[in-house]
Amino acid sequence: MLYLWLKVAHVFFVISWFAGLFYLPRIFVNLAMVPAQSEVERERLLGMAKRLKRFMIVLMVGSWATGLAITLTLGGPGTWWVQGWLHAKLLLVLFLTAYDGYCSVLLRGFRNGTNTRSHVWYRVFNELPTLLLLGVVILVIIKPF
């Protein structure tokens, strides 16, 4: 029964974290397009991004904590840890965590006024979590190895 509740919490945290991973770079697209004279719009978008990023940290930690708890609940290193698909999934989750961290760096650049990237770059950057999510879903459901 504990396993099922952990799984519910994990799915909730992962879905919520991904909502942020999809939306924050979209805010970056809008920030990159704000004309220099539109200080009010820039500050509004920066405020949205800052609040979302702060919340995303909680969601990311919840995703990691519940995922690790599920793994330990199901027998720990003797069962799940020897399965290749889990190693691959953890690698993708590490990439997602790095992506999340890089979003913090990018947000700091917008706050400091040092962003040099175009809205087109952010549109492409916005697609990376989609590809990583597809990989994670394939690994978790199909377990190819």
Number of neighbours of residue 86 by Cβ within 10 angstroms? 18
Question: Annotated binding residues for heme, as ranges?
Answer: 10, 89
DSSP state of 74: T
Spatial distance between the Cα atoms of 99 and 21, rounded to a whole number of angstroms: 8
Token pair 């400091």 in the structure block, residue:
112
Spatial distance between the Cα atoms of 60 and 103, rounded to a whole number of angstroms: 13
Question: Annotated binding residues, as ranges?
Answer: 10, 89
Handedness of CA 129, 24, 12, 57 (dihedral sign): positive
Spatial distance between the Cα atoms of 40 and 143, rounded to a whole number of angstroms: 49
Q: In terms of Cα–Cα distance, which of 61, 60, 69, 68 is closest to 18?
A: 60
